[in-house]
Amino acid sequence: MQLNFRVPIFDVKNLSFEVRGQKILSNISFEVYNGEYIAIIGPNGGGKTTLIRLLLGLEKPSAGEIKIFGKKLANFKEWYKIGYVPQRASLVDENFPATVEDIVKMGRTARRGIFANFSKEDKEYVKDAMVKMDILHLKDKMVGTLSGGQRQRVMIARALASSPEILILDEPNTGVDVKSQHRFYTLLKKLNREDNITILFITHDIGVIADDIGRLFTINQKATICNDPKKTLSCEDMSELYGIEAHLLHKHKHEH
Amino acid sequence: MIEMFEYDFMQRALVAGVFIAILASVSGTFVVLRRYSLMSETLAHSALVGVAVGLVAGYNPLWVAVVAAVLAAWLIEYLRSAFSLYSDAILSILLSGSLAVAVIIVSVGGSFNNSLFSYLFGSILSVSYEDVLTIIVFGTASLIFLLLFSKELYFIAYDEEVAKTSGIKVAFLNFLLVTVVAIIIALSIRVVGSLLIGALMVIPTVAALQYRVGFRNTMLISLFFALFSVFFGMGLSYYFSLPSGATIVLCVIAIFIFSLVINKK
């Protein structure tokens, strides 16, 4: 394996975010390195999605600094290196005139100049992404006719089409059935191990992910970074993080 | 139907009509998908302020209408971003406000007459060479913009936030889109009229959406519907002495109803 000077993909220092005086995130610092597989968990309203929006430049921090690939966020231009799959991925407008291929092509849009149409190379990337997500056979289908699990794979294929180095997913399993969820985590793991794509995702499926992930970030206004996820996922820690919800979560875990 | 084009004024109307059909339907696809349908109505009314100023001050109303509509579009975008107001409420306020201003200007200036009426409802007979030239020049520029940025605008229409995170200049393109839409609306009021242009912009796309096909085909179907309505509407208007704008709009509504019925699930 090649030893390289490890510039983190994300380098977050003392990040805080507040809205109208209300603290959402407070003094968060962490790094994300190439090849990592990281899950973010935490209670609703704890600031998980806000954190991701800050990382993507969709919100401006109240304090602190974010560096992406060693550059300050404001100076970062190579956004195609980051694939983003938002929370509502499976909730598309059913009437929107888009085939699966139309959607996946969007992943190449920003890489093309304004004057250029999609090239042969773009089409190859689009096809590869659809093959990886096992949706090539659906390419001419209207996206509104797909199931939740299929739509989710379309959204990930779109993110993959720009050949990103990191995938950021916000609760990708919202609106997806259990069978598809398993298939989904297998795919994520494969992308991480075989294609060396760094993965950072928000989830509630704590029981499912414990065996696969490398690190776990727990976010509830403050961040706790855990390098040994299996240890963190004990009931006591969950209680601390989630408060009263922990018992429910724990019970839920055993039911499966 | 050929002999109606032996007249100069019908030739001008045809050229203007074809251009407007192309512009309205292509821009209309983005307008509908971005949920800007009501905005087209508001801009059409704002364009009337320009028409009123033009009529009273003696400038070409079409040129001043373009300026007024563009300024209104920018004002809407500014109000949307700077204040926490409901965007449909902003549109509604600007719509009635513009109309009120236009009526006052015209009535104070003493030109409350047939020429304003022709801008409200469109009039094929009154399309001049200068109008045709204005439509071709501004229309071509607008069309080039829309086609150049179509894949970016499409992405933004589908998912503005993801488009932004992938590095697309969303704010800038939104600004350009509303500017171009304002120009197209102002150009169209000569042929279809300011009270009716919203229909020509929105309905062909809504009708095309009923066929549930991909983006490119939706745009092509919408274009075909708009062209067909303009041709057919102008023909009916010529032979039966009907007002052109209203006839064109009724044609496009008939197509919409037809599309809705045959594609019913």
The two structure tokens encoding residue A123: 């089409």
Q: Which of B152, B167, B213 sits opposite A80 (nearest CB)?
A: B167
Instruction: State percent of chain A over pLDDT 70.
Output: 81
Name the band, by pLDDT with cuts 50, 70 and 90, for residue A210. low
> SS3 letters for A186-245?
HHHHHHHHHCCCEEEEECCCHHHHCCCCCEEEEEECEEEEECCHHHHCCHHHHHHHHCCH
Is B213 in contact with A97 (Cβ distance < 8 A)?
Answer: yes
Q: pTM for this structure?
A: 0.87
Q: Evaluate if residue A247 carries a pLDDT over 50.
A: no
Asked whether residue B239 is domain-assigned, the answer is no
Which three-class secondary structure state does DSSP give residue B45?
helix
Identify each DSSP E strand in A33-165 by its residue range: 37-41, 63-68, 71-72, 82-85
Q: Is A75 on the interface with B (CB under 8 A)?
A: no
Name the band, by pLDDT with cuts 50, 70 and 90, for residue A165. very high
Q: Over the stretch B192-206, which tens digit does the pLDDT of each residue have? A: 888 888 889 999 999
Residue range B231-253: mean pLDDT, rounded = 90
Is B152 in contact with A109 (Cβ distance < 8 A)?
Answer: yes
Residue range A58-87: mean pLDDT, rounded = 92
User: How confident is the model at residue A106, as a pLDDT?
Assistant: 92
Q: Evaluate if residue A222 carries a pLDDT over 80.
A: no
Asked whether residue B229 is domain-assigned, the answer is no
Asked whether residue B24 is domain-assigned, the answer is yes
Residue range A68-94: mean pLDDT, rounded = 84
Name the band, by pLDDT with cuts 50, 70 and 90, for residue A244. very low
Name the band, by pLDDT with cuts 50, 70 and 90, for residue A90. low
Could you list the residue range(s) of the whole structural domain that residue B70 is in?
Answer: 9-196
User: How confident is the model at residue A41, as a pLDDT?
Assistant: 87
Residue with tokens 């727990």: A218
- Specify the number of domains making up chain B: 1
**β-pair type (A222-226, A63-68):** unpaired
Q: Is A110 on the interface with B (CB under 8 A)?
A: yes
Q: Over the stretch B79-105, which tens digit does the pLDDT of each residue have? A: 888 887 788 889 999 999 999 999 898
Q: Which of A55, A58, A96 to mutate to test the interface with B (most CBs of B within 10 A)?
A: A96
User: How confident is the model at residue B220, as a pLDDT?
Assistant: 96
User: How confident is the model at residue A248, as a pLDDT?
Assistant: 41
Q: Evaluate if residue A208 carries a pLDDT over 70.
A: no
User: How confident is the model at residue B58, as a pLDDT?
Assistant: 85
Give the separation between CA B201 and CA B105, rounded to whole angstroms. Answer: 27
User: How confident is the model at residue A53, as a pLDDT?
Assistant: 93
Is B33 in contact with A96 (Cβ distance < 8 A)?
Answer: yes
Q: What's phi and psi for A148, nearest 5 deg?
A: -55, -45
Instruction: State percent of chain A over pLDDT 90.
Output: 43
Asked whether residue B212 is domain-assigned, the answer is no
User: How confident is the model at residue B50, as a pLDDT?
Assistant: 93
Q: Is A68 on the interface with B (CB under 8 A)?
A: no
Q: Which of B158, B166, B212 sits opposite A110 (nearest CB)?
A: B166
Calculate how close chain B gets to A15, using CA atoms only, in Å: 20
Asked whether residue B232 is domain-assigned, the answer is no
Q: Over the stretch A38-49, which tens digit does the pLDDT of each residue have? A: 989 888 888 899
Query: Are the CB atoms for B196 and B122 separated by under 8 Å?
Result: yes
Q: Which of B148, B164, B208 sits opposite A58 (nearest CB)?
A: B164
Q: Which of A78, A79, A142 sits opposite B165 (nearest CB)?
A: A79
Q: Evaluate if residue B225 carries a pLDDT over 70.
A: yes
CATH value at residue B51: 1.10.3470.10
Residue with tokens 């005139």: A97
Calculate how close chain A gets to B216, using CA atoms only, in Å: 9
Q: Evaluate if residue B186 carries a pLDDT over 80.
A: yes
Q: Is A73 on the interface with B (CB under 8 A)?
A: no
What is the rounded end-to-end Cα distance, in angstroms, of chain B? 37
Q: Evaluate if residue A89 carries a pLDDT over 60.
A: no
Asked whether residue B235 is domain-assigned, the answer is no
Instruction: State percent of chain B over pLDDT 90.
Output: 55
CA nearest to A105, candidates A119, A91, A85, A90: A119
Give the separation between CA B211 and CA A152, rounded to whole angstroms. Answer: 24
Domain boundary assignment for chain A: 10-255
Q: Which of A96, A105, A109 sits opposite B168 (nearest CB)?
A: A109
User: How confident is the model at residue B208, as a pLDDT?
Assistant: 96
Calculate how close chain B gets to A78, using CA atoms only, in Å: 7
Q: Evaluate if residue B127 carries a pLDDT over 60.
A: yes
Residue range A139-153: mean pLDDT, rounded = 88
Is A142 in contact with B215 (Cβ distance < 8 A)?
Answer: no
Q: Is A81 on the interface with B (CB under 8 A)?
A: no
For residue A144, the chain B residues in CB contact (below 8 A) are: 212
Is B214 in contact with A115 (Cβ distance < 8 A)?
Answer: no
Q: Evaluate if residue A232 carries a pLDDT over 60.
A: no
For residue A78, the chain B residues in CB contact (below 8 A) are: 167
Q: Is A119 on the interface with B (CB under 8 A)?
A: no
For residue A170, the chain B residues in CB contact (below 8 A) are: none
User: How confident is the model at residue B55, as a pLDDT?
Assistant: 87
**More confident: B170 or B3:** B170
Instruction: State percent of chain B over pLDDT 70.
Output: 97
User: How confident is the model at residue A92, as a pLDDT?
Assistant: 66
User: How confident is the model at residue A12, as a pLDDT?
Assistant: 93
Architecture of domain A10-255: 3-Layer(aba) Sandwich (3.40)
For residue B164, the chain A residues in CB contact (below 8 A) are: 57-58
**3-state class percentages of chain B: helix first, strand second, coil last, to nearest 5:** 80, 0, 20
Q: Which residue of A has its CA nearest to B221?
A: A97
User: How confident is the model at residue A187, as a pLDDT?
Assistant: 87
Question: Burial, B117: exposed, middle or buried (Cβ in 10 Å; 0-12, 13-18, 19+)?
Answer: exposed
Q: Which residue of B has its CA nearest to A108?
A: B166
Mean of the per-residue pLDDT values of chain B: 89
Q: Evaluate if residue A52 carries a pLDDT over 90.
A: yes
Q: Give the number of beta-carbon pairs within 8 Å between A and B.
A: 79
Question: Burial, A40: exposed, middle or buried (Cβ in 10 Å; 0-12, 13-18, 19+)?
Answer: buried
User: How confident is the model at residue A125, as a pLDDT?
Assistant: 92
